[in-house]
Structure 1
């Protein structure tokens, strides 16, 4: 190439702003790669930080739930002990038992409660309620228990039978109506036994009447024990599930 050609080539290279040497190109690529690596590392660091924060939150949530569960197990044990001390001398006479897990007092003598197909409380069961319910509600209303009680359930249970001329679904519906009417009778009679207006107001805010028909039969060796299925229960439900649900909602 002549001197003149080389001079023109050099001049063209200098005058062209888009003309880069191989070294310049490699430097630019290196810079771009470094920027991409920095962005990737920053994103990874941000992701790791978020994961650590989430792990901490999950651990804190688990500890809160564990603390609530422990507290309510202790309260449940204490309430069971208090109920047992209060009523243990009468339980056999009432044909009743206390279930430690569900905090349910179960009356198991159906012939004492109501006449067959009737919703009016028999005098014998009224005498039991006269002795039982005022002491029961006073115990639950103690300061250490009342703040944790979500519901006091009066449950009426029947067997699956009705009469031989109806099918199973009809028997279930009729027993549902009967059990609901009976639990309302028990609720009305029980509330009338509370003399203290403030205690009665608190009781009304907590007590519910629940007729459950034959949905919770007592089974023995795979067969329904119809006599045992017919029962009345007073059951306490705490607000532990509600409080745990609130914690999980806040955590989300």
Structure 2
């Protein structure tokens, strides 16, 4: 057997191997191109999402500022006598528990009923005005308590206060639904679609300037507005994840 004949089988094997390497290189190149195109596409989606988020944030920040200003103007003369306050997060806090309920009870007292009769129709009228109505996702009636419950462990006290806070929020909801000034069909439909009652027990109790629990202040009812901004932002972030 000559030297050339011994070499040829090795050459025959080398040619297919080189073709295989060339094919692999082409595949790697195509994968790299696809990856780069996908990166560019994702970059464009991210930029678009960032711009949309910026637009939503600007719009709803302006809207919340306008709503806060309008609510403050509407109730500026009533808040001191109601022992209530309006905050930039659009929560309205009623801070006098002895006026609202008896200790451990969930029945709305007459004095607080009178406050709600004056407050709620005017409140809903502003929220339902054309510039705000579609932007409002939820109006939460929140019941809050302190952490105290006589002769119970902190855990059992939390459970009992959860029950109490939920019952109080529901009682307020039932009372405002019965106010004659909001009993037209269109207003009731809007309220049913958005107004909820929520008990939070002592989960959001207030503290004093010294950092200790404010037992009186923690027992409160709040009306809180949630705008549609959160849902719109969630949809954008969800689309980015796909």
Q: Runs of 4+ in structure 1 displaced over 3 angstroms?
A: 18-22, 24-43
Tell me, in whole angstroms, the C-alpha distance in 2 between the residues paired with 1:114 and 1:136. Answer: 22
Query: Which stretch of structure 1 is more off in the superposition, 201-210 or 42-51?
Result: 42-51
Tell me, in whole angstroms, the C-alpha distance in 1 between the residues paired with 2:10 and 2:169. Answer: 94
Deviation, 1:95, is: 0.8
Q: Of residues 115, 138, 148 in structure 2, which corresponds to 1:128?
A: 115
Deviations 1:212-233 (A, max 9, x none): 1111110122310101111110
- Verify: 1:152 aligned to 2:118, yes or no: no
Q: Of residues 43, 48, 52 in structure 1, which corresponds to 2:40?
A: 52
Alignment CA distance shift 1:96-1:26 (3 Å): same
Deviations 1:116-145 (A, max 9, x none): 222221111111111100000111111221
Tell me, in whole angstroms, the C-alpha distance in 1 between the residues paired with 2:36 and 2:99. Answer: 67
Tell me, in whole angstroms, the C-alpha distance in 2 between the residues paired with 1:230 and 1:204. Answer: 26
Q: Matches of residues 200-215 of structure 1 in structure 2 within 5 Å? A: 200-215=188-203
- Verify: 1:249 aligned to 2:238, yes or no: yes
Alignment CA distance shift 1:34-1:137 (3 Å): same
Q: Of residues 66, 72, 91 in structure 1, which corresponds to 2:79?
A: 91
Q: Matches of residues 1-252 of structure 1 in structure 2 within 5 Å? A: 19=8, 37-100=25-88, 102-163=89-150, 165-193=151-179, 194-220=182-208, 221-251=210-240, 252=242
Alignment CA distance shift 1:20-1:177 (3 Å): closer
Larger Rg: 1
Tell me, in whole angstroms, the C-alpha distance in 1 between the residues paired with 2:153 and 2:117. Answer: 38
CA-based RMSD of the aligned residues comes to 2.7
Tell me, in whole angstroms, the C-alpha distance in 1 between the residues paired with 2:46 and 2:197. Answer: 38
Alignment CA distance shift 1:21-1:135 (3 Å): closer
Tell me, in whole angstroms, the C-alpha distance in 1 between the residues paired with 2:235 and 2:134. Answer: 16
Deviation, 1:211, is: 1.4
Structure 1: tracts of 5 or more residues without a match: 1-8
| Secondary structure of residue in 1 paired with 2:61 | helix
Alignment CA distance shift 1:133-1:41 (3 Å): same
Alignment CA distance shift 1:91-1:40 (3 Å): same
Tell me, in whole angstroms, the C-alpha distance in 1 between the residues paired with 2:77 and 2:42. Answer: 53
Alignment CA distance shift 1:33-1:191 (3 Å): same
Deviation, 1:34, is: 5.6
Aligned pairs, number? 238
Q: Structure 1-normalised TM-score?
A: 0.84
Q: 1:6 matched to which residue of 2?
A: none
Structure 2: tracts of 5 or more residues without a match: none
